[in-house]
């Protein structure tokens, strides 16, 4: 079955709503890159860059990295050649300022966002999911100790790398990240709904494959 043509997509949702898992599936299906500002910061932290050092202080507290920094790196990334045929934004925009900057930037280039998927998951479930989340230290693939276990405990199915807990996935930081989401990012739901771009995806189905089917349906609509 053919998927819809426009491929400038956004995955919106609280931490732990399954954005990373669905991003990996969608980019595989559509052949477009996923752009995760969180991943870009984690790579910079691992390489010890100035950007990494600056971002880490905010990330460790579960706070947002300031708009000016995030906007610059996200817009620069979507201007790269591999994003020309489309991209999937995972974790950006997270504030109305970021969303406005994204829109201005795309409009100036004669481009636009085609669809925004909201991953809908209740707060109690988010905390439960994040506390069991494990990520591959080499390729960043995401697992859950009970919901999405790897074939071999502690190791990535894709590249064999060791799995570990993210530094900002400790319960107190998680609760702060959810509060930050509700205060800063939740308003983007109405923002994109008014632009008739929003598709609500039930993130509480039986598993990631069922959630992915919903996203595919919304893509074709
Ligand atoms: P994520 O991997 O998307 O959960 O992002 C991890 C952390 O990186 C967040 O808790 C923020 O501190 C920071 N971050 C990632 N993306 C953004 C963004 N769009 N705006 C502000 N901070 C961000």
Determine the atom of ligand 1 nearest the C-alpha atom of 15. 4
Binding site membership of 41 for ligand 1 (Cβ less than 6 Å): yes
Binding site membership of 20 for ligand 1 (Cβ less than 6 Å): no
Beta strands 198-202; 115-120: pairing state: parallel
Q: From first to last of the 221 residues of the chain, give the pLDDT tens digit.
A: 455 556 999 999 999 899 999 999 999 999 999 999 999 999 999 999 999 999 999 999 889 999 999 999 999 999 999 999 999 999 999 999 999 999 999 999 999 999 999 999 988 889 888 889 999 999 989 999 988 999 999 999 999 999 999 888 888 888 899 999 999 999 999 999 999 999 999 998 878 999 999 999 999 88
Among 30, 22, 67, 48, CA closest to 209: 22
Beta strands in the chain (DSSP E): 8-13, 34-36, 87-90, 115-120, 133-136, 142-144, 163-164, 198-202
Q: Which residues contact 215 (CB under 8 A, 6 or more apart)?
A: 22, 25, 26, 117, 199, 201
Backbone angles phi, psi at 184, to 5 degrees: -105, -35
Nearest CA to ligand 1 atom 19: 92
Nearest CA to ligand 1 atom 1: 38
Binding site membership of 42 for ligand 1 (Cβ less than 6 Å): no
Binding site membership of 15 for ligand 1 (Cβ less than 6 Å): yes
pLDDT at 5: 54
pTM summary value: 0.88
Q: Are the CB atoms for 134 and 144 separated by under 8 Å?
A: yes
Distance CA 132, CA 196 (A): 35
Domain residue extents for the chain:
8-220
CA distances in angstroms from 40 to 17, 47, 81, listed in the order given: 19, 11, 17
Among 136, 127, 188, CA closest to 158: 136
Nearest CA to ligand 1 atom 6: 38
Tokens 């074709």, residue located: 220
Element (H, E) at 98: helix 96-108
pLDDT at 1: 46
Distance CA 192, CA 137 (A): 34
pLDDT at 159: 97
Ligand 1 midpoint to CA 92 (Å):
8
pLDDT at 64: 96
Domain 8-220, architecture per CATH: 3-Layer(aba) Sandwich (3.40)
196 catalytic per annotation: no
175 catalytic per annotation: no
Catalytic residue among 19, 56, 77, 134: 19
177 catalytic per annotation: yes
DSSP for 134-177, please give it. EEETTT--EEETTTB--SSTTB-TTT-PBEE--GGGSHHHHHHH
pLDDT at 186: 95
Radius of gyration of the chain (CA): 17
Catalytic residue among 56, 77, 133, 134: 133
Binding site membership of 16 for ligand 1 (Cβ less than 6 Å): no
Tokens 């319960």, residue located: 171
133 catalytic per annotation: yes
Catalytic residue among 56, 77, 94, 134: 94
């Amino acid at each position: 079955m053919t998927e819809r043509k426009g491929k400038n997509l956004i995955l919106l949702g609280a931490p732990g709503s399954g954005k990373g898992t669905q991003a990996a599936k969608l980019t595989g299906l559509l052949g477009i890159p996923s752009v995760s500002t969180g991943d870009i910061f984690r790579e910079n932290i691992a390489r010890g860059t100035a950007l990494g050092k600056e971002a880490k202080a905010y990330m460790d507290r579960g706070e947002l990295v300031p708009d000016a920094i995030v906007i610059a790196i996200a817009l620069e990334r979507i201007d790269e050649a591999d994003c020309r045929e489309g991209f999937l934004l995972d974790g950006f925009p997270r504030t109305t300022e970021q969303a406005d900057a994204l829109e201005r930037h795309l409009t100036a280039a004669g481009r636009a966002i085609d669809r925004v998927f909201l991953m809908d998951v209740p707060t109690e479930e988010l905390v439960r999911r994040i506390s069991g989340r494990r990520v591959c230290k080499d390729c960043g693939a995401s697992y859950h100790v009970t919901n999405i276990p790897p074939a071999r405990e502690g190791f990535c199915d894709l590249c064999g790398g060791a799995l570990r807990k993210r530094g900002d996935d400790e319960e107190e930081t998680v609760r702060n990240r959810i509060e930050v989401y509700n205060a800063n990012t939740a308003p983007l739901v109405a923002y994109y709904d008014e632009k008739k771009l929003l598709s609500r995806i039930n993130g509480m189905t039986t598993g990631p494959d069922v959630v992915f089917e919903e996203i595919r349906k919304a893509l074709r609509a």
